[in-house]
Structure 1
Amino acid sequence: MHVSISKRRPRTSKKTETEKHEKSLKDHPNSICSVFSSLVLYLVLLTILFLFLISLWSTSTTVVSGNVVRICISSRKLNDLYCLTAGSHYPGLRVPVSNFTKLVSENITKKEISTEEEPYRYIVPKDEVEESGLKDVNKYLKIQRSWLSIGNNQRSCKGQGIYVYDLPSKFNKDLLGECSDMFPWANFCSYFKNDGFGESIEELGERWFNTHQYSLEPIFHSRVLKHPCRVYDENQAKLFYVPFYGGMDVLRWHFKNISTDVKDVLAIKLLKWLGSKSSWRKNSGKDHVFVLGKITWDFRRKEHYSCISSFLEMQEMKNPTKLLIERNPWEVIDIAIPHPTFFHPRTDDDISSWQNKIIRQSRRSLISFAGGARPGNPKSIRSTLIDQCTSSPNQCRFLNCTSGGCNKPELVMELFQDSEFCLQPPGDSPTRKSVFDSLISGCIPVLFDPFTAYYQYTWHLPEDHRLYSVYINQDDLKANKVNVIKKLMSVTLRERENMRSYIVHELLPGLVYGDSSAKFQRFRDAFDITVDSLLHKISTTL
């Protein structure tokens, strides 16, 4: 049998313990004072910390935007709310919040930002044919969004080579040389200076240029030539870029009375040149990309539109990816990318400085509209918008582009920076460069046609349009069912701040094209997002 034996301490009497304690106090008369002083000091420090936390809580607020958290703190020295930003997009960026209001963005609920597409969110189909067409539009949007590359600029070029064809100059640079003869009433040459960025605009700042809306081709070309993943061996390439300035080819014939055969000559020669390359034949052009600086319809000639090209209707162009400023919503490899704006940053600091400026901007006008009427187009809503705007001068400012008011970019940008909402009705086609000018100004675009943006820019704008815009159905406007001014006056201050915060902090960097020497670390611009997504598309489809 196992026996456990333990050694016990003798029990000490209470009397003995009391005597020892009294003796200890006599030997150390300062012990009580020392303990009491330590306790008081601890309570004082705890009180100070508590008061500091109360003060911080009362003068701060939190903005949650996407996966970025901003804690905004007011300061008597700074006079404004300032935000400390933490997140994967903008580490360490300090963003000042407008002193126009102390209300800041609230987190948007999951229900509000649901990415589940509603097929008839914008258009109610009139018949089965239209219903089928809308379903196709939404199907292709989902496919394009699946190609979007989500990440940062810390990319690896392993297996991601980009090959740039060295085309004969007649397919690109020589076309720019015809700039003086493209339009009967204007010389285009100044727009194509500085790698297509145009002449600098001193009134707006160092990184601002008078960039034409059709300058995408030389801008993209200048950037891809310096891409870190560029390779010079075709066998190392995953993506092949064809620097054909097809938009310039269309422009030079647009106002000339010549046969359609002549208008297609250069495109036919290009495809013949490509057809002689084994790199083209290997995958039938599926790993090739063209960047075209005009809308897709200018390359899809029909019988009654003889002034345009048939380039995208040619059989050889069925497989390559086409990047355009406006896509055909029923062509899945027609991909829309942003119109070039006037702002072309070079560094992260250029972007963050501009963000700081426009988020603090005091906006004196509720609404603005920069545009002109379309009296020859009975479907246009512009005249109605102009009437409503000019009838409410205290809420809406109108800049008449018909009389040349929009020829100076500084006037347009000043208007947008001074406005809460910018009206963006369709023009000659659904899309507008002005949408992107307003967004980079922090002005919330008001759209009337889903084909203006929602069915277009799947890689650069979110699926939920409510994050950055207001939608008003143009049919309701035509039927006098809605007054735009009253509608926008009903949007709360907090809702406006929500959208502007999202536009400035989340969207803006990805809507601008950096200049030809741009180097970004924290941000991805429109070019970076496009190229990264192209490489992702090729990886998932070939």
Structure 2
Amino acid sequence: MLILALRAFIHFESRSPHQAQESSSSSSSSSASSSTGDVCEGRRVFVHELPTSFNTDLLQRCNKGLADWIDFCDHWVNDGFGQRVDNPEHWYATNNYLLEVMFHRRIVTYPCRTLNPWKAQIFFLPYYGGLEALEYLYGEKKHLRNSQGLDLVHWLEHNAAEIWSRHGGADHFMVLGRTAWDFFRQNETSWGTRLLQQVELAHVHALVLEKMPWEPMQEAVPYPTSFHPPSLSALQDWMQQVRSSNRTVLFSFVGAPRPGKPGDIRSQLIEQCMKSTKCKFTDCTGMSCGRYPQVLLPAFIHADFCLQPQGDTPTRKSTFDSMIAGCIPVFFHPDSAYTQYKWHLPEDPKAYSVLIDEKQIQQDGLKVEDVLLKFKQDEIIALRERVISLIPNFLYMNFSSPGELTGTFDAFDLSVNGMLKKVKSWKSQ
């Protein structure tokens, strides 16, 4: 079954450029007949045809082939969405790291994809760097952590030299299904590879799940949630269900305690939640709640506010899982969202979220409940409605029927649009 699925993936990729080109031509012709402009003018994307060793071959090694304790064969099926969940409908057991697969499958059918690199404004590198990193972080290439990405540079220099060197790679981008910290190794004893530190890749834009706020060549894109609607009507039905949900608790927290860090913000929030009659705590000890909608949804869809403290890094997948359910996020550090997802979140954070300085809780003993009780009902409704309106921005749609989604921008669309604007701005300087 795995081999058949992989063959289907490769077959799809090999045929899709022509189909995308035909789609683009058809779209352009249709547009030209009804207006004077070309809908793809200034929006064309070229996808480098990298050797499969940089992408789909890695999927063949899903059964502990990249790291001897990691098996992700169930995760990359269904276009990277993972295994279907029986209930609710259109939900999957989605793994963050498969964002690279989702994005690749989507971009090869992008309406404004071009096969002519000289007509393109931006260039996509379908490189599964996050999956490949498993081998450098845990597997046979652990001693070669500093060299990740050099094979990609070598291929570009020998197979796309003129395009690659034209702007020093500044019109190129790649998508990595991990945080930037996994690719930024500070010293020989620290975590990570040096993918984002390679001099030859210094001008390539990296779309990551969490960026280093000070790095201009990095952009944060939403963590994949488990909801991948196949149509606009399915999306609208869900948004209406979220809007009409009965919110029975003021706030909730989903996560696991950190026994080794008794004084950290997470432990204090869990303690506050468990003592409050207005809070619901869902303990994720021993399981990855992020891949189980059946566990997450009841905690999120019945609460007005959802607590989103920092974890191992400032951001959390839970932020997007909760907002998909219409739960207003409560952050405790600006880097958890405000310095991150600028293509996908409003400029005014107060329009959709609450910020409480974690130091007020850790040092001053501030109670979250006291802060949230100050919000009037009409203020809560306004915040929730703004969150619901943002739901499409966080989704990676099930693109098997993209025609039904015309006019609806999801996380993929906003990411491509963001790249187009960023490169255009750079070229105009």
**Identity rate of aligned residues, in percent?**
37
Please, which of 112, 117, 126 is the counterpart of residue 243 of structure 1? 126
Matched, 1:198 2:115: no
CA shift in 2, pair 1:483/1:218, >3 Å: same
Matched, 1:208 2:91: yes
Deviation of the 1:253 alpha carbon: 3.6
CA–CA distance in structure 1, aligned partners of residues 68 and 142 of structure 2: 19
Please, which of 437, 441, 450 is the counterpart of residue 321 of structure 2? 437
Letter in 1 for 2:118: N
CA–CA distance in structure 1, aligned partners of residues 393 and 87 of structure 2: 24
Which residue of 1 is the match for residue 230 of structure 2?
346
The structure carrying a bigger strand percent of its residues is 1
The SS at the match of 1:180 is coil
Deviation of the 1:408 alpha carbon: 2.5
Deviation of the 1:256 alpha carbon: 4.0
Which residue of 2 is the match for residue 122 of structure 1?
none
Deviation of the 1:186 alpha carbon: 5.1
Letter in 2 for 1:325: L
In the alignment of these two chains, the number of paired residues is 385
CA shift in 2, pair 1:496/1:305, >3 Å: farther
Which residue of 1 is the match for residue 307 of structure 2?
423
Moved more, 304-313 or 209-218: 304-313
Which residue of 2 is the match for residue 397 of structure 1?
280
Please, which of 474, 484, 507 is the counterpart of residue 358 of structure 2? 474
Deviation of the 1:159 alpha carbon: 3.5
- 8 Å Cα contact 1:260/1:306 also seen in 2: no
Deviation of the 1:176 alpha carbon: 2.0
Residues 493-537 of structure 1 show CA distances to partners (whole Å, capped at 9, x for unaligned) of: 1111010111112x1111111123234223211111111121122
CA–CA distance in structure 2, aligned partners of residues 533 and 199 of structure 1: 30
1:272-311 aligned at under 5 Å gives the runs 272-276=154-158, 277=160, 278-303=162-187, 305-311=189-195
The SS at the match of 1:294 is coil
Letter in 1 for 2:410: D
Which residue of 1 is the match for residue 424 of structure 2?
539
Letter in 1 for 2:413: D
Please, which of 265, 276, 293 is the counterpart of residue 381 of structure 1? 265
- 8 Å Cα contact 1:200/1:208 also seen in 2: yes
CA–CA distance in structure 2, aligned partners of residues 305 and 409 of structure 1: 37
- 8 Å Cα contact 1:416/1:443 also seen in 2: yes
The SS at the match of 2:381 is helix
Deviation of the 1:175 alpha carbon: 1.6
CA–CA distance in structure 1, aligned partners of residues 69 and 164 of structure 2: 40
Deviation of the 1:298 alpha carbon: 0.6
Which residue of 2 is the match for residue 52 of structure 1?
none
- 8 Å Cα contact 1:223/1:515 also seen in 2: no
- 8 Å Cα contact 2:261/2:267 also seen in 1: no
Which residue of 2 is the match for residue 514 of structure 1?
397
- 8 Å Cα contact 1:178/1:252 also seen in 2: no
Q: Which has the higher contact order (CA 8 A, sep 6+)?
A: 1
RMSD: 1.9
Please, which of 114, 121, 129 is the counterpart of residue 231 of structure 1? 114
Unaligned 5+ segments in structure 2 are 1-36
CA shift in 2, pair 1:203/1:186, >3 Å: farther
Which residue of 2 is the match for residue 268 of structure 1?
150
CA shift in 2, pair 1:317/1:414, >3 Å: same
Letter in 2 for 1:449: H
Unaligned 5+ segments in structure 1 are 1-153
CA–CA distance in structure 2, aligned partners of residues 176 and 329 of structure 1: 31
Matched, 1:366 2:250: yes
CA shift in 2, pair 1:480/1:178, >3 Å: farther
Which residue of 2 is the match for residue 46 of structure 1?
none
Deviation of the 1:183 alpha carbon: 5.8
Residues 40-82 of structure 1 show CA distances to partners (whole Å, capped at 9, x for unaligned) of: xxxxxxxxxxxxxxxxxxxxxxxxxxxxxxxxxxxxxxxxxxx
CA–CA distance in structure 2, aligned partners of residues 251 and 414 of structure 1: 33
CA–CA distance in structure 1, aligned partners of residues 357 and 188 of structure 2: 29
Letter in 1 for 2:156: L
CA shift in 2, pair 1:251/1:183, >3 Å: same
Deviation of the 1:196 alpha carbon: 0.7
- 8 Å Cα contact 2:133/2:148 also seen in 1: no
CA–CA distance in structure 2, aligned partners of residues 155 and 342 of structure 1: 35
CA–CA distance in structure 1, aligned partners of residues 170 and 365 of structure 2: 47
Please give the TM-score of this superposition, normalised by the length of structure 1.
0.68
Residues 129-155 of structure 1 show CA distances to partners (whole Å, capped at 9, x for unaligned) of: xxxxxxxxxxxxxxxxxxxxxxxxx98
The structure carrying a bigger helix percent of its residues is 2
Deviation of the 1:304 alpha carbon: 5.2
Which residue of 2 is the match for residue 22 of structure 1?
none
CA–CA distance in structure 2, aligned partners of residues 184 and 376 of structure 1: 27
Deviation of the 1:260 alpha carbon: 3.4
Letter in 1 for 2:62: C
> Between Structure 1 and Structure 2, whose CA radius of gyration is higher?
1
Which residue of 2 is the match for residue 316 of structure 1?
200
